[in-house]
Structure 1
Amino acid sequence: MPGLLHLVTCAATPLRRIGELLDQLVAARWEVQVIATPAAATWPFLTGVRATTGRPVLHRMPLPDEPWPVTAAAAVLVAPATFNTINKVAAGVNDNLAVGVLNEHLGGPVPVVMAAHVKPELRAHPAFARSRRFLTEAGVVFTDLGHPLDWTQTVAALDPHR
């Protein structure tokens, strides 16, 4: 069994088809814990996650009297990974549960894959190239979500890490 996969989701168009990604991950025998950015947590496309994964969507830091909701993972996948989240993680910003989980894994032994969904105008921004280069040097594996959307390359990027 591959183990537990932290699937960090960001608010971008591919989130509409997150069910397809979850189906592929479950078929690949991953146990999946979805951790949504605050913006992604407001999107209705995550409503079926618990039925597929058996786990609730995590989206906020626990209150002081609540247990830490995130358990150890075998791998981390960010899909879709937005301009905002990629740059936040590269800069070490730790302002929500999703980026906090990513920051905790950056440079460590747990593999991290980011499936970038960034429009051309933002790909041209100097911060994006700098962030992507920095994260790649820290061990992050990048895939790009194209059009038409196909999760196959993203799921395949997890294979070497099993």
Structure 2
Amino acid sequence: MTIVPVLYVVGCAAPPVLSITTLVSGAIERGWDTCLVLTETAHTWLADQLPDLAELTGHPIRVRYKLPGEPDVLPPAEAMIVAPATSNTINKWAAGISDTLPLGLITEAIGLGLPLIALPHLNAAQAEHPAFAVSVETLRGAGVQVLLGTDGHTPHSPGTGTGAGFAWERALDRLPPVAARHPVSE
């Protein structure tokens, strides 16, 4: 019996989210049962794609916290990729702010010791804010793989970040191998 590990893809409202199917498809091809969680704005931007994304993943797309007592509609995550991760998400995450479902999940994931990969998308002016560097170091110190520069995203000039050529594959390459997490048993 083969057990498929569960990956949560958490997408924030930055231009690359418009092609998040690339990341979701890549994760599925690598053997992950992939669930998609979006920020409210990313959800709005992807409104036309949501039915196809739900069909691709086989799971509902989550945006908001469930009501107390409601069952979880997604299986528990074993790893998470936050991509694109905005400067807002990086800074709130590092501060432990959980005022949205995506932030709540990724904040809790640190305490659970899950493999976490963050692929930011931000401009150079945002990256120069002193809080951003502190937040990146805080997250890295907590075990989050934050992919910046040659490892992932190089901040672009303000007004020029289209998301073309976003480093989805680099985030996928940082996931633990599926076979190492769930050996196939007959």
TM-score (norm 1): 0.91
Note the residue ranges of structure 1 that are not aligned, 5 or more in a row. Answer: none
Correspondence for 1:132? 136
After TM superposition, give the deviation of residue 46 of structure 1 in Å: 4.2
Counterpart CA distance in 2 for 1:98 and 1:28 is 23
Does residue 113 of structure 1 match 2:130?
A: no
1:153 pairs with 2:170: yes
Q: 2-side partners of 1:122 and 1:86: how far apart?
A: 11
Asked if structure 2 preserves the Cα contact closer than 8 Å seen for 1:78 and 1:114, the reply is yes
1:99 corresponds to which residue?
Answer: 103
Please point out which of 64, 67, 81 is paired with 1:63: 67
Deviations 1:87-118 (CA, angstroms, capped at 9, x unpaired): 11101111011000011111432111001111
Deviations 1:4-47 (A, max 9, x none): 00111101000111111111111101111111112211112642
| Inter-partner Cα distance in structure 2 for 1:148 and 1:68 | 34
Q: Secondary structure at the match of 2:65?
A: coil
User: Deviation at 1:72?
Assistant: 1.8
Alignment-mate amino acid for residue 28 of structure 1: R
Q: What do you get for the CA RMSD once the two structures are aligned? A: 1.8
Report the Cα offset of residue 2 of structure 1: 5.4
- Please give the TM-score of this superposition, normalised by the length of structure 2: 0.80
More strand by share: 1
Q: Which amino acid aligns with 1:151?
A: W
| One of 3, 6, 17 as aligned partner of 1:4 | 6
Which has the higher Rg, Structure 1 or Structure 2?
Answer: 2
Q: What is the number of residues matched between the two proteins?
A: 162
Displacement after TM superposition at 1:86 (Å): 0.6
Aligned counterparts of 1:159 and 1:85: Cα–Cα separation in 2: 23
Q: Which runs of no fewer than 5 residues in structure 2 stay unpaired?
A: 155-163, 182-186
